[in-house]
Amino acid sequence: MTPELSLEFIEKLPKTDLHCHLDGSLRLDTILDLARKQHVKLPTFDRGELFNLLYAGEKCASLEDYLKAFDITLSVMQTEAALERTAFELAEDAWKENVRYLEVRYSPLLHTREGLRPATVVEAVMRGLRAAKRQYGIRYGVILCAIRSLSSESSLRIAELCVAFKNRGVVGFDVAGAEVGNPAKVHRQAFQLVIDNNISCTAHAGESFGPDSIHQALHKCGAHRIGHGTRLVENGDLLNYVNDHRIPLEVCPSSNVQTKAASSFETHPVDFYVDYGLRVTINTDNRLITDTTVSKETWLCHKAFGWPLSTLKEIIIAGFKSGFMPYREKADLLAEVSAELAAIQAPTNGKAAERQAERPVTGAASPAALAEAPAATRTPQ
């Protein structure tokens, strides 16, 4: 029988969050504070009512319905100060649950309503993330998103920003937004520009549309990772291609249930993906709108599918392997995390059964998990 792990135990594990939208991960109190300072009219200033408007929960009918909440969050993210603050707070929140490497994604074009230039938007977000790194030691990368429903010219503009900010914090390019009626192949020129400049790319695919969306992302656009990939299970040949080529899946279970990409948590294909051997990473998508953390998502999978600690360790390692980091930096971080993971075993009588790690922990100390974090017994390729 799999020992039951608490959320608090999982919070202490080192982890990644590779699929996290800045504009979906604000603190609720920050939205209220920014709205008052900027004189932005919200639907309500009652904290509870505002949360109910933003939280997808069970009332969400589709991905398109889920995306409506962003109208509220984006309304207070149109100044440099707001962008810097929200980026810092996101990294701080991630650090508090021992996320060691965070990839923050957003579309600069959605933050230009009040006259900000796209490059200014990128700089403001970078300042917030750099401040968080200085204060907490959290590592980060930025992924700039094109929007499926916008023109190919707009996606090319985002690709140009990726090229300009390469080696300055931007690590990847993405295409996001409603899939139905907005094929990724429309944005091929933008993908080609980032690939020509040796920049990594991912794509939201297989969330609200079938496996063909994933096929396009991989074979028409050259994506190195797939965001969500919930409907990959519907095409066995493509699934095996993804597995054979070790293409990481950025799985966001609770979000997928809320957008109806999966009918329930228990029937989410992530359990099959893990069992079959795909490279699965567990992520938040939108911390506020889905009301989640990486720790919570991992814990819910543990509860729903009975994943033992050894499986959680494999998924944690897969996250670090899949990050858009330079190889040598990634190798150093993997060695550090693997040493930490080797220092703890499954709880016994409510306490962690610790043993001495074979390798000492190197690098900056983490907030909570240097003393307590589980070990990778098997390292997926």
Catalytic annotation, pick one of 11, 89, 179, 207: 207
| CA–centroid distance for 306 within its chain | 23
pLDDT at 131 > cutoff 90: yes
Cβ within 8 Å of residue 324, ≥6 positions away: 103, 141, 143, 171, 172, 200, 224
Mean pLDDT across 350-359 = 42
The arithmetic mean of pLDDT across residues 20-42, rounded, is 98
Can you spell out the DSSP letters for 78-119? -SHHHHHHHHHHHHHHHHHTTEEEEEEEE-GGGG-TTS--HH
Task: Find the mean pLDDT for residues 211-232.
Answer: 97
Q: Is the pLDDT of residue 1 over 80?
A: no
Over residues 118-137, mean pLDDT: 98
Positive or negative, the CA dihedral 147, 148, 152, 155 is positive
Q: Determine the pLDDT at residue 181.
A: 85
Structure tokens at 240: 């095996």
Give residue 283's pLDDT. 98
28 or 376, greater pLDDT: 28
On whether the CB atoms of residues 103 and 174 are closer than 8 A, the answer is no
Radius of gyration of the CA atoms of the chain, in A: 20
pLDDT value of position 351: 53
Q: What is the mean pLDDT of residues 107-116?
A: 97
Alpha helices in 210-293, H assignment, sequence order: 211-219, 236-244, 253-258, 270-276
Structure token digits, residue 96: 């508090």
Give one DSSP letter per residue of 123-187, joined into a string.
HHHHHHHHHHHHHH--EEEEEEEEETTS-HHHHHHHHHHHHHTBTTTEEEEEEES--TT--GGGG
The values of phi and psi at residue 295, to 5°, are -60, -45
Query: Which tokens hold the place of 45?
Result: 């200033």
Q: Is 207 a residue of the active site?
A: yes
Count the neighbouring beta carbons within 10 Å of the beta carbon of residue 133.
18
Dist. CA 18–CA 126, nearest whole Å: 17
221 and 185 Cβ atoms separated by less than 8 Å: yes
Q: Which two tokens stand for residue 211?
A: 């496996």
Mean pLDDT in the chain?
A: 90
List the one residue out of 308, 321, 309 whose CA is nearest residue 278: 321
Q: Is the dihedral of CA 159, 160, 163, 165 positive or negative?
A: negative
Residue % of the chain over a pLDDT of 70: 91
pLDDT tens string 270-283:
999 999 999 999 99
Q: Stretch 85-99: mean pLDDT, rounded?
A: 98
Q: Do 248 and 273 touch, CB atoms closer than 8 A?
A: no
Domains of the chain: 7-329 (3.20.20.140)
